[in-house]
Amino acid sequence: MYRILKKEVLSDVTKLMEVQAPHVARKARAGQFIIVRIDEQGERIPLTIADYNREAGAITIIFQEVGKSTMQLGKMEPGDELSSFAGPLGHPTDIENYGTIVCVGGGVGIAPIYPIARSLKEAGNTVISIIGARNKSLLFWEEKMRAVSDELIVCTDDGSHGRKSLVTEPLKELLEDKDRKVARVWAIGPAIMMKFVSLATKPYDVPTTVSLNTIMIDGTGMCGGCRVLLDSGAQFVCVDGPEFDAHKVDWGSLLSRLQFYRDEERKAVEQWEHKCKLEGAIAEGGK
Amino acid sequence: MAELSQKERMKIKRHDMPNQDQFVRRGNYDEVALGYSLETAREEAERCIQCKEPKCVQGCPVGVLIPQFIKALREGDMIKAVEWMKVKNNLPAICGRVCPQETQCEGNCILRKKGEPVAIGRLERFVGDYELAHRTCPLEKAPLTGKKVAVVGSGPAGITCAVDLGREGHKVTLFESLHGPGGVLVYGIPEFRLPKSVVFGEINYAVECLGIEIKVDHVIGRTFTLDELLNEYDAVFLGTGAGLPSFMRIPGINLNGVMSANEFLTRVNLMKGYLFPEYDTPVKVGKKVAVIGAGNVAMDSVRCSLRLQALQAQKSGENSGEVHMVYRRSRAEVPAREEEFHHAEEEGVIFDFLTNPLEILGDEKGNVRGMRCIRMQLGEPDKSGRRSPIPIEGSEFEMEVDTVIMALGTSPNPLVFVDAEGLERTKYGTAVADNETGRTKKPRVWAGGDVVTGAATVISAMGAGKRAATDISRFLKGEAPW
């Protein structure tokens, strides 16, 4: 069992947790992920590592409550224990001094882009970061990102904070700017955002790395559920990734595969909300 | 019972295994084969003619003392029967259920020449189940040696190796990448063929008796590398299996509705997806399922699909659909265990032999809508000794399916080879290890089971785990230096 050490509410639907998992923390690196299972009935949920503390043996995860499992996880509190916590999985990010690089984090993708930006900064890169979300309430870690970036651009879709635009707009301006000489781009966020970042950088031939979060069970190369089509054939996100060359990803197939269990996911959420409502009513009645 | 003559023994007919009704069992995941009663088991045991040079034992990868345990069983001495069994096999309740007896012990049984072999597998299961329920034969531990061994992978090879090393008094830590032990016995083999309670019963008992430590959620190659384990332990055994699924290199494999048998079975068995939404992991099949392949994994996949369809139909009130097994060779070459084929047939699987998919076809939403296939014919025997399938020109046709499950075999997971310098691999991705001792090319590292042989059987993995344990123990005692 793995104890939750700390919990922070970053927005209504975005939560941060620090989990006691020394076996993962001792080697965790930027770009890798873990698999968490809440309880005996739980599914195995892949989450990218947002931060790690080797001395304390702790891993930070950040998740958005999008389905039954993440909603249930969001209700847990420090002191509660998780059934499984495996990792670190996947390849770490290739950290080198590339020159000027851009880190794009969209929504909950801000969490995993943070340790990458920090590592790239430490390696001597000039780091320009772009973070974005639908609205202000979904943004988090602005100051943390600013601290590891030479320049930070904040956008929201509705203009409630920062610039009113999608993350691809300022990205295109940076790519256009000949003086900037952007050597590489990292982008983590919703699949559709990563697709458009990929489309934006392609005409400029700037190498672009995305971190994919696909359907996955074991996370060790066993199920193949996470396979993604590249121009060279199918690869597994869990063992070959999770980072891939964005320009080689078949985005159509990726987006379609993410939809496969949508009906089941919806059903699980309905049942969970119903259960919470009932429990709430019982608690009310008991007062 | 009075002592029977050889002739009388040979007149007794082989006893059928009582099974769950074929129509009822399609709608549940409960065990199909119900097991012999004591009476039936003893009567079946009477059939054994106690050969002086028993061929059955030669057919067994671990050399179970078959005539001895059968004799004790027919004399009604269950404690003795268990003792004889455990000399060579610590997991009889598992082997009795999943071994391909028809090609091993029973295949060699002398009675087979004149009729039907002794039902050795069913008797083994009976003895194993008796021990599970009564625990008359505790696993005894030699005095502690102070040596530490890491066993990587808690499937059949790993468990067997860990138990034998534990009995020798070594301190064993069993590393498992998933959230619970058992490996393929848990994620691969379905409940209706091998109940999880049997697997966990055996593992828990061994852990209790021998003080084996199990570390789940540890992915060797990532959480620790092999070299890191070697710093901590005196010896390492790799029993990491063959978990990497193969996909056909045909167009359409990334469509929605195409999955590996590993994914499908893991969802069903390990994650209990058939109980969704009580369990969180969903699993679903459509109305027309095609499973590609005809090995044991393919049989498990068709039979799990039938049950899922039945459960889905119970909920929706619609008819359940059909499940096809698509195999490029013919009935005669089916590699699965005979009993599984027979059960699948009874349960209503449709067999499309001499058929090979060329392409999986999708609709505009990216879902599977069919398969383009070609008919095959058998030519000359290939390297495996089986007649090789040859496409019949111009015989292409379309098959309407909405789910495709690929059960085409698996290869070893490469993760364990990460940062493991000196651990040699073949071009098939298997670890190079001595067949007798299990020694790899890397000092203090042994390997056995599917990681060495590629996908094979539970019992051959157990045999390899056993042989390696013997050699590891001799190494640790200084009797067999590296």
For the cut 80, the answer to whether the pLDDT of residue A217 exceeds it is: yes
Under a CB-based contact definition with an 8 Å cutoff, are residues A118 and A88 in contact? Answer: no
Tell me whether residue B17 is exposed, middle or buried, using C-beta atoms within 10 angstroms of its C-beta: 0 to 12, 13 to 18, 19 or more: middle
Same-domain status, B313 and B333:
yes
Mean pLDDT of B406-412: 92
Same-domain status, B266 and B400:
yes
Under a CB-based contact definition with an 8 Å cutoff, are residues B407 and B293 in contact? Answer: yes
Same-domain status, B163 and B44:
no
- Residues of chain A in contact with residue B415, where contact means CB-CB under 8 angstroms, are 220-221, 239
Sequence-ordered list of residues with C-beta below 8 angstroms from that of B274, at least 6 positions apart, any chain: B29, B268, B283, B304, B307, B308, B311
Same-domain status, B394 and B333:
yes
State what percent of residues in chain B have pLDDT above 70. 100
For the cut 80, the answer to whether the pLDDT of residue B335 exceeds it is: yes
Is the CB of A22 inside 8 Å of chain B's CB atoms? no
| Contact between chains at B280 and A256 (C-beta distance less than 8 A) | no
Query: Is position A157 within any domain?
Result: yes
Same-domain status, A156 and A74:
no
Q: In the prediction, which pLDDT does B1 show?
A: 52
* Segment A58-74, tens digit of pLDDT: 999 999 999 999 999 99
Query: Is position A183 within any domain?
Result: yes
| Contact between chains at B260 and A224 (C-beta distance less than 8 A) | yes
Same-domain status, B253 and B385:
yes
For residue B436, give its domain range. 148-243+411-476
- CA gap A110, B389 in Å, rounded: 53
Under a CB-based contact definition with an 8 Å cutoff, are residues B328 and B409 in contact? Answer: no
Output DSSP code: residue B239.
Answer: -
Domains held by chain B: number: 3
* Segment B189-203, tens digit of pLDDT: 999 999 999 999 989
Q: In the prediction, which pLDDT does A57 show?
A: 96
Query: Is position B481 within any domain?
Result: no
- CA gap A3, A20 in Å, rounded: 5
pLDDT band at B384 (very low <50, low <70, confident <90, very high): confident
Query: Is position A129 within any domain?
Result: yes
Return the number of other C-beta atoms located less than 10 Å from residue B151's C-beta: 32
Same-domain status, B165 and B117:
no
**Which tops the pLDDT comparison, B385 or B476?**
B476
Give the count of alpha carbons within 13 A of A29, CB side only: 13
Query: Is position A240 within any domain?
Result: no
- CA gap A35, A19 in Å, rounded: 12
Query: Is position B279 within any domain?
Result: yes
Query: Is position B139 within any domain?
Result: no
Mean pLDDT of B241-262: 93
Give the amino acid at A270: E
Query: Is position A57 within any domain?
Result: yes
Mean pLDDT of B79-91: 92
Mean pLDDT of A197-206: 95
Give the count of alpha carbons within 13 A of B137, CB side only: 22
Is the CB of A232 inside 8 Å of chain B's CB atoms? no
Same-domain status, B172 and B315:
no
Is the CB of A53 inside 8 Å of chain B's CB atoms? no
- CA gap B276, B282 in Å, rounded: 6
Same-domain status, B456 and B427:
yes
Sequence-ordered list of residues with C-beta below 8 angstroms from that of B56, at least 6 positions apart, any chain: B66, B67, B105, B106, B108, B109, B118, B120
Same-domain status, A70 and A101:
no
pLDDT band at B294 (very low <50, low <70, confident <90, very high): very high
For position B328, which CATH number holds?
3.50.50.60
Instruction: Look at strands A58-64 and A14-20 and give their pairing.
Output: antiparallel
Under a CB-based contact definition with an 8 Å cutoff, are residues B90 and B42 in contact? Answer: no
Backbone φ and ψ for B53, nearest 5 degrees, come out as: -115, 85
* Segment B302-316, tens digit of pLDDT: 999 999 999 988 888
Domain boundary among B408, B424, B449: B408
Domain boundary among A154, A187, A211: A211
Domain boundary among A72, A89, A106: A89
- CA gap B145, B473 in Å, rounded: 10
Same-domain status, A32 and A101:
no
State what percent of residues in chain A have pLDDT above 90. 88
Query: Is position B482 within any domain?
Result: no
- CA gap B161, B461 in Å, rounded: 10
* Segment B263-280, tens digit of pLDDT: 999 999 999 999 999 999
Query: Is position B142 within any domain?
Result: no
Same-domain status, B292 and B216:
no
Same-domain status, A112 and A180:
yes
Mean pLDDT of A183-203: 96
Q: Which of B44, B67, B46, B45 is nearest to B55 (CA)?
A: B67
Query: What would the 3-class secondary structure string for chain A be?
Result: CEEEEEEEECCCCEEEEEEECHHHHCCCCCCCEEEEECCCCCCCEEEEEEEEECCCCEEEEEEECCCHHHHHHHCCCCCCEECEEEEEECCCCCCCCCCEEEEEEEHHHHHHHHHHHHHHHHCCCEEEEEEEECCHHHCCCHHHHHHCCCEEEEEECCCCCCEECCCHHHHHHHHHCCCCCEEEEEEECCHHHHHHHHHHHHHHCCCEEEECCCCCCCCCCCCCCCEEEECCEEEEHHHHCCEEEHHHECHHHHHHHHCCCHHHHHHHHHHHHHHHHHHHHHHHHHC
Domain boundary among B104, B134, B164: B134
Average pLDDT, chain A: 93
Same-domain status, A134 and A82:
no
Q: In the prediction, which pLDDT does A178 show?
A: 86
Output DSSP code: residue B270.
Answer: I
Under a CB-based contact definition with an 8 Å cutoff, are residues B264 and A224 in contact? Answer: no
For position A186, which CATH number holds?
3.40.50.80
For position A41, which CATH number holds?
2.40.30.10
Query: Is position B306 within any domain?
Result: yes
Q: Given the structure tokens 């509190």, which residue do they identify?
A: A77
Domain boundary among A211, A227, A255: A211
Q: What Cα–Cα distance (Å) separates residue A71 from each residue in A49, A76, A177, A257, A261?
A: 19, 9, 42, 22, 17
Same-domain status, B267 and B212:
no
Is residue B221 left, alpha or beta, with left meaning phi > 0 and alpha meaning psi from -120 to 50? left
State yes or no: cis peptide before A242, omega within 30 of 0: yes
Same-domain status, A12 and A81:
yes
| Contact between chains at A224 and B219 (C-beta distance less than 8 A) | no
Same-domain status, B278 and B371:
yes
Calculate how close chain B gets to A165, using CA atoms only, in Å. 30
Q: Considering only alpha carbons, which residue of chain B is nearest residue A68?
A: B280
Query: Is position A10 within any domain?
Result: yes
Calculate how close chain A gets to B306, using CA atoms only, in Å. 20
Same-domain status, A176 and A78:
no
Calculate how close chain B gets to A282, using CA atoms only, in Å. 21
* Segment A88-135, tens digit of pLDDT: 999 999 999 999 999 999 999 999 999 999 999 999 999 999 999 999
Q: In the prediction, which pLDDT does B371 show?
A: 97
pLDDT band at B385 (very low <50, low <70, confident <90, very high): confident
Domain boundary among B408, B433, B465: B408
For residue A163, give its domain range. 93-211
Query: Is position A233 within any domain?
Result: no
For the cut 60, the answer to whether the pLDDT of residue A190 exceeds it is: yes
Same-domain status, A144 and A79:
no
Does the global pTM surpass 0.80?
yes
Under a CB-based contact definition with an 8 Å cutoff, are residues B176 and B183 in contact? Answer: yes
Same-domain status, A112 and A79:
no
Same-domain status, A191 and A151:
yes
Domains held by chain A: number: 2
Average pLDDT, chain B: 93
Two tokens at B34? 């119900």
- Residues of chain B in contact with residue A249, where contact means CB-CB under 8 angstroms, are none
For the cut 90, the answer to whether the pLDDT of residue B348 exceeds it is: yes
Tell me whether residue A181 is exposed, middle or buried, using C-beta atoms within 10 angstroms of its C-beta: 0 to 12, 13 to 18, 19 or more: exposed
Is the CB of A256 inside 8 Å of chain B's CB atoms? yes
Output DSSP code: residue B61.
Answer: T
Calculate how close chain A gets to B273, using CA atoms only, in Å. 9
Same-domain status, A77 and A110:
no
Of B253, B282, B413, the CB nearest to A220: B413
Query: Is position A228 within any domain?
Result: no
Q: In the prediction, which pLDDT does A287 show?
A: 56
Same-domain status, A122 and A198:
yes
Same-domain status, B233 and B252:
no
- Residues of chain A in contact with residue B279, where contact means CB-CB under 8 angstroms, are 41, 43
Give the amino acid at A79: G
| Contact between chains at A86 and B282 (C-beta distance less than 8 A) | no
Calculate how close chain A gets to B444, using CA atoms only, in Å. 23
For the cut 70, the answer to whether the pLDDT of residue B2 exceeds it is: no
Query: Is position B177 within any domain?
Result: yes
Tell me the sheet residues that pair with A135.
none
